[in-house]
Structure 1
Amino acid sequence: MALVPVEEALTRILKGAKPLPAETIKLQDGLGRILAADIVARRDQPPFYASAMDGYAVRHEDLNQVPVTLKLIGASGAGHGFTGMLKQGQAVRILTGAPMPKGADTIVIQEVTRIVKGGVEVLDAPAPGRNIRVRGLDFKKAEVLVPAGTKLTARDLGLAAAGNAAMIRVRKKPRVAILTTGDELAAIGTAPRWDQITSSNNQALSALVTAMGAEAIDFGVVRDDLKATTAAVKKAFNADILVTTGGASVGDHDFVQEALKRAGVKIDFWKIALRPGKPFMFGTKGKLRVLGMPGNPVSAIMCSLVFLKPLLHVMDGLPPDTGFGTARLAIDLPANDHRQDYMRARISNADDGTLLVTPATKQDSSMQRVMREADCMVVRPPHAPALEAGALVPILRFPAGI
Structure 2
Amino acid sequence: MISVAEALARVLALGAPLAPEEIDLDQGLGRVLAAPAVAQLDQPPFDTSSMDGYAVGAAATGDSLQVIGESAAGARFSGVLSAGEAVRIFTGAPLPAGALRVVPQEDVLRDGDHIAITEDQSSLFVRTAGDDFRAGDTHFPRRPLRPADLGLLAAMNVPRLSVHRRARVAIIPGGDELVPPGGRPGPDQIIASGDLAIAAMVERAGAIALRQPIVPDHVDAIRAAFTAAADADVVVTIGGASVGDHDLIAPTARAMGAVIDFHRIALQPGKPLMAGTLGHQVFIGLPGNPVSAQICTLLFILPLLDVLRGLPGAAPKTARVRLAADLPANGKRQHYMRATLTDEGALPVRSQESNLQSLMALADGVIIRPIGAGPAKCGEMVDYIAF
Query: TM-score, normalised to structure 1's length?
Result: 0.90
Matches within 5 A, 1:272-287: 272-287=265-280
Residue identity in the other structure for 1:307: F
**In structure 2, distance between residues paired with 1:247 and 1:75:** 76
**In structure 2, distance between residues paired with 1:16 and 1:189:** 37
Corresponding residue for residue 332 of structure 1: 326
Tell me the secondary structure at the aligned position of residue 170 of structure 2.
Answer: strand
Tell me the secondary structure at the aligned position of residue 365 of structure 1.
Answer: coil
User: Cα–Cα, structure 1 residues 8 and 77, in superposed 2: closer, same or farther, change >3 Å?
Assistant: same
Query: Is residue 2:249 matched to residue 1:260?
Result: no
Identity of aligned residues (%): 44
Corresponding residue for residue 41 of structure 2: 43
- For residues 214-258 of structure 1, give each alpha carbon's deviation from its aligned partner in whole angstroms, at most 9, with x where no partner exists: 111111322222211111012222211111001222344332223
Query: Is residue 2:344 matched to residue 1:346?
Result: no
Query: Is residue 2:103 matched to residue 1:96?
Result: no
Cα contact 1:60–1:128 (8 A) shared by 2? no
Cα contact 1:105–1:128 (8 A) shared by 2? no
Residue identity in the other structure for 2:321: A
**In structure 2, distance between residues paired with 1:19 and 1:278:** 28
- For residues 89-116 of structure 1, give each alpha carbon's deviation from its aligned partner in whole angstroms, at most 9, with x where no partner exists: 3222211100011111121222233443
Residue identity in the other structure for 2:165: K
Residue identity in the other structure for 1:27: L
Query: Is residue 2:10 matched to residue 1:12?
Result: yes
Cα contact 2:14–2:282 (8 A) shared by 1? no
User: Cα–Cα, structure 1 residues 7 and 65, in superposed 2: closer, same or farther, change >3 Å?
Assistant: closer
Residue identity in the other structure for 1:317: G
**In structure 1, distance between residues paired with 2:111 and 2:23:** 55
Instruction: Give the superposition deviation at 1:377.
Output: 1.0
Corresponding residue for residue 363 of structure 1: 352
Residue identity in the other structure for 1:396: I
Tell me the secondary structure at the aligned position of residue 214 of structure 2.
Answer: strand
Query: Is residue 2:170 matched to residue 1:177?
Result: yes
Corresponding residue for residue 235 of structure 2: 242
**In structure 2, distance between residues paired with 1:55 and 1:386:** 68
**In structure 1, distance between residues paired with 2:161 and 2:230:** 29
1:52 aligned to 32, 50, 65, which one? 50
User: Cα–Cα, structure 1 residues 129 and 267, in superposed 2: closer, same or farther, change >3 Å?
Assistant: closer
Instruction: Give the superposition deviation at 1:386.
Output: 1.9
> Which structure 1 residue ranges, 4+ long, deviate > 6 Å from structure 2?
none
Cα contact 1:37–1:148 (8 A) shared by 2? no
Corresponding residue for residue 80 of structure 1: 75
1:299 aligned to 292, 303, 309, which one? 292
Tell me, which stretches of 5 or more residues in structure 2 are unaligned?
A: none
- For residues 23-61 of structure 1, give each alpha carbon's deviation from its aligned partner in whole angstroms, at most 9, with x where no partner exists: 222211110011222233222211111111112212233
Corresponding residue for residue 31 of structure 1: 29
Tell me the secondary structure at the aligned position of residue 176 of structure 1.
Answer: strand
Cα contact 1:105–1:129 (8 A) shared by 2? no
**In structure 1, distance between residues paired with 2:349 and 2:302:** 24
User: Cα–Cα, structure 1 residues 219 and 123, in superposed 2: closer, same or farther, change >3 Å?
Assistant: same
Query: Is residue 2:378 matched to residue 1:383?
Result: no
Corresponding residue for residue 105 of structure 1: 100
**In structure 1, distance between residues paired with 2:80 and 2:121:** 22
User: Cα–Cα, structure 1 residues 108 and 14, in superposed 2: closer, same or farther, change >3 Å?
Assistant: closer
**In structure 2, distance between residues paired with 1:184 and 1:230:** 19
**In structure 2, distance between residues paired with 1:310 and 1:335:** 29
Corresponding residue for residue 353 of structure 1: none
Cα contact 1:176–1:241 (8 A) shared by 2? yes
**In structure 1, distance between residues paired with 2:117 and 2:14:** 72
Q: Which 10-residue stretch deviates more, 245-254 or 199-208?
A: 245-254
**In structure 2, distance between residues paired with 1:97 and 1:388:** 60
Tell me the secondary structure at the aligned position of residue 220 of structure 1.
Answer: coil
Tell me, which stretches of 5 or more residues in structure 1 are unaligned?
A: 351-355
Tell me the secondary structure at the aligned position of residue 246 of structure 2.
Answer: coil
User: Aligned pairs, how many?
Assistant: 386
Query: TM-score, normalised to structure 2's length?
Result: 0.93
Cα contact 1:176–1:214 (8 A) shared by 2? yes
Cα contact 1:24–1:170 (8 A) shared by 2? yes
Instruction: Give the superposition deviation at 1:20.
Output: 1.8
**In structure 1, distance between residues paired with 2:73 and 2:267:** 62
RMSD: 2.0
